[in-house]
A and B are shown apart, each in its own frame.
Chain A
């Protein structure tokens, strides 16, 4: 089983739709959580960090459920420019290690 699991999609949604991505992680020692965005043939970039109490950044809302080891990302009022792959990322830190574990990503295609 992969340490970070995501539905690969693709999610095809019309402009203006609300879309939600889910992610589960298997290592209960995971401490920090992020969503990265990767555009086609580009490098990943941080979209937002995920705080324990949940957090919102404009049209984007991230939630964390430590008990269920589950992370979500909600995108409201989808734009064409939101089309990308969304990577769920978990930080595992201990001793001399501070690693980010990446999910394989969920592909979002926003249609006009």
Chain B
């Protein structure tokens, strides 16, 4: 079946521009996560959506970052006024969410969007 897809796969943008990254989760997965991974670094949690609950935005690094999700489908991560330190791979993952039981918390990751801010 189809996995998590992300677009674009690569994005080069000029400092100060806005970018929008898209994630299509696995159908039926109620939970969706965004992570950032800088070169040679670990995964940095950004935001988590679970069904119709208020999202957990505790990982967003600044108010330039925002994300939306329509129902239990597509999510977009928007970065406004991009800075060079925003350069990273942005990974999206989905899982069966709260209704799942161990070990079905598995998060399935998309291939990521590599963002380069020049």
Contact = CB atoms under 8 A, between A and B. Distances in A.
Interface of A: 31-32, 34, 42-46, 49, 51, 87, 91, 93, 96-105
A44 B95 CA distance: 14
A96 B48 CA distance: 10
A49 B103 contact: yes
A14 B112 CA distance: 32
Contacts, number: 60
A46 B107 CA distance: 8
Interface of B: 31, 33, 35, 41-43, 45, 48, 50, 53-54, 56, 91, 95, 97-98, 102-103, 105-107, 109-112
Contacts of A99: 33, 45, 48, 56
Contacts of B112: 43
A29 to B, nearest CB: 15
A81 to B, nearest CB: 20
A100 B31 CA distance: 11
B40 to A, nearest CB: 10
B102 A49 contact: yes
